[in-house]
Amino acid sequence: MRTAPALIAVAAIVLAACSPTMPGGTLDGIAKANIKSVMISVVNGQIDQFPDPVLVGAGNGKVKWIFDSDEPAYKFPADGVTFPEPPVAPPTTAGCRQVASAASAAQRFNNCGPKQHDTEFHCNSVGQAPPVGTCYYYALKVVPTAGGAAIVKDPWAKNK
C-alpha cells in the first residue's frame, strides 16, 4: 500500500512537466521578454491598437493581439492577421530603415491563428531577425460577434 503515495508524486511531476509555463520564465519555450502583447479596441467602427507599431525582438518570440475588454463585441476570424505585400510606405513616424516583403514576413511570422475563443490572435516570430528597423506591413481584421462586416486596419510591426 506504500506505492500509492509514490504514484501520486510521479503523477504530479508528470502533470507539472506538461504545463506551458516552464522554468526560467518561458511560455511554450519562448522567453516572456519575447512575447509582445498588443491591446486591441474598436472605437466608432475603427480598430485602435497599442502599441503601434508593434516592436518585435530578435530571435524567437510571439505576438499576441488581445481585445482590451473582457467581453468584446468583436472577435478575430481565422485570417485576423495576415502579411500581404505592403501597398504603401510606412509612416515616417514608424522609423523604419527598410521594409520587408510579404515573403520575408511569412518566414518571420508563422503559426498564426485565433486563440481564447477568438478573443486573442497569436503569431510566432521565428528565426534570426533582419536588421533593427526592418518593418513588416500587416492587415489586422476583426468581425462583430453578432455578425456583420469585417473591420480592417493596416498597421506595421518593426524589429527593435
Structural domain contains residue 54: yes
Range of the domain at 86: 30-159
Continuous H helices in the chain: 3-17, 102-108
Rounded to whole angstroms, the Cα distance separating 99 from 143 reads 28
Query: Is 8 among the domain residues?
Result: no
Residue 129 pLDDT greater than 80, yes or no: no
Q: Is residue 6 domain-resident?
A: no
In a domain, 74, yes or no: yes
pLDDT digits (tens, 9 = 90+) for 46-69: 999 999 899 888 778 899 999 998
CA distance 129 to 108: 7
Q: Please count the structural domains in the chain.
A: 1
What CATH number has the domain bearing residue 130? 2.60.40.420
Q: Is residue 126 part of a domain?
A: yes
Residue 18, in any domain of the structure: no
The span from the CA of 51 to the CA of 158, in Å, is 11
Does the reported pTM lie above 0.95? Answer: no
Q: What is the pLDDT of residues 63-104, one digit of tens each?
A: 999 999 877 899 999 999 999 999 888 988 888 998 999 999
Residue 108 has pLDDT above 50, yes or no: yes
**Tens of pLDDT, residues 7-32:** 333 333 333 333 344 444 555 556 67
Hunting for cell 506538461 — which residue is that? 18
Q: Average pLDDT in the 123-136 region?
A: 85
Res 40: pLDDT: 95
In this structure, is residue 9 part of a structural domain?
no
